[in-house]
Chains A and B, each alone.
Chain A
Amino acid sequence: MTQPATSLALPADWRDFFALTKPRVMTLVIFTGLCGLLAAPGSIHPVIGFTAILCIALGAGGAAALNQWWEADLDAGMKRTANRPLPAGRLKGTDARDFGILLSAVSVGVMGVAVNWLSAIILAGSIVYYAVIYTIWLKPRTPQNIVIGGGAGAFPPMIGWVAVTGDVTLMPVLLFSIIFMWTPPHFWALALFVKTDYANVGIPMMPVVKGEKSTRRQIFVYSAILLPLALTPWFIGGTGLIYAIAALALSLAFFALSLPVSFRQSGQNDSMRPEKRLFAFSIIYLFALFAALVVDRVAANQGWI
């Protein structure tokens, strides 16, 4: 508690609880989950579809709150995160923890009752994966933390898909794999230009532990794998030409932007422009790729192609 003992603590602002859910990350989670749901074969009642997306969002919010509760001390030491509700002292740690548990439990329960239990189990798995396996266990221990953490972000389209179909097939696994492979170059591009922050709080980020050169080489490898992987849904006949063209163009652009990042070394007071450009494009990439997936499905359903 940051207030003097003599004064009654102000009730936390509801906006701080909202901020705990990492709303900006959640937009990507909602979007990819919705795309998985819309691209899946079959139909779902709009109310149940809405509930599925709501549960994915609540689950992601709960996991984010638990993540911030656990990492409050680390966040306090980094410029980018020091003003979050917990390190800034606007919220109590136990409140954040309880809020995270509540959101997680409600999301899984409602998903199971209203949608189906397979998607609820995968949602529960994704929350435990992010909040426990990633945040508590592996993030502070291995520089491969981002590779492992990428799995958590890769669940939403799979859950959206399974909400419609009720079973796990190759397509949702591919959607999972695409985000899984996209995450390391996306996040390491960021880590390259904020690496001093991570070094200060002792998180073993790849650029800090293995050095820039190794990180850049790995960005290259993941970007190179992403190119054919993004096209695989088309290779296996799961999507049409619209997706194939979009995936090829976007992945080529992603790969092209990763090249200058992969084969250079930063100097003193480097502006890190290639890294910032790759990071910015990586967000557009994921939005556009999943949007193409939905457009492709709609076009196929309407008989346009």
Chain B
Amino acid sequence: MNPDEDTEFRKRQKSRNWVVGGILLFFVVLFYAITIVRIGD
């Protein structure tokens, strides 16, 4: 893997990690909110 490919590899990895992290965080918040609403039912 040449330096350019390595940079692109890391860049893609990083952007995917951010997206997956964001989605997980979103689901944590969503499940928390659903739980609170459901408890109130």
Question: Could you say which residues of chain B place their CB within 8 Å of the CB of A114?
Answer: 34, 38
A47 at the interface (CB under 8 A from B): yes
Give the residue name and chain of the B residue nearest to A113 (CB).
B34
How long is the Cα–Cα vector from A82 to B21 in the complex, in angstroms? Answer: 31
1/0 per residue, CB under 8 A from B, across A1-17: the answer is 00000011011111000
Interface membership of A51, Cβ < 8 A? yes
Q: Which of B1-41 contact A (CB under 8 A)?
A: 1, 5, 8-9, 12-13, 15-16, 19-20, 30, 33-34, 37-38
Contact in complex: B34, A8 (CB < 8 Å):
no
Tell me what chain B mostly uses at the interface: helix, strand, loop, or mixed.
Answer: helix
Report the minimal beta-carbon distance from B3 to chain A, rounded to whole angstroms.
13
Chain A residues with Cβ below 8 Å from B12 are 10-13
**Docked complex Cα distance between A7 and B9 (Å):** 11
Assign chain A's interface to a size class: 10 to 19
| Chain A positions 33-63 with a Cβ under 8 Å from a chain B Cβ | 45, 47-48, 51, 54
User: Hey, which chain B residues are within 8 Å of A45, CB to CB?
Assistant: 37
Tell me the complex Cα distance, A48–B39, Å: 12
Task: Specify which chain B residues have a CB less than 8 angstroms from the CB of A12 in the assembled complex.
Answer: 12, 16
Q: Which residue of A lies closest to B5 (CB)?
A: A7
A268-288 CB mask vs B (1 if < 8 Å, else 0) is 000000000000000000000
Residues A14 and B15 in contact in the complex (CB < 8 Å), given A47-B34, A48-B34, A114-B38: yes
Find chain A residues with CB under 8 A from B30 CB: 47, 51, 54
Chain B contacts for A13, CB-based, 8 A: 12, 15-16
A54 to B33, CA, bound (A): 14
| Cβ contact within 8 Å between A51 and B34 | yes
Q: Which of B1, B16, B37 contacts A8 (CB 8 A)?
A: B1
CB-CB under 8 A from A10, the residues of chain B are 5, 8-9, 12
Q: Give min CB distance, A3 to chain B, whole Å.
A: 10
CB-based nearest A residue for B6: A8
24 A-B pairs in the complex with CB atoms less than 8 angstroms apart: A7-B1, A7-B5, A8-B1, A8-B9, A10-B9, A10-B12, A11-B9, A11-B12, A11-B13, A12-B16, A13-B12, A13-B16, A14-B15, A14-B19, A45-B37, A47-B30, A47-B33, A47-B34, A48-B34, A48-B37, A51-B30, A51-B34, A54-B30, A113-B34
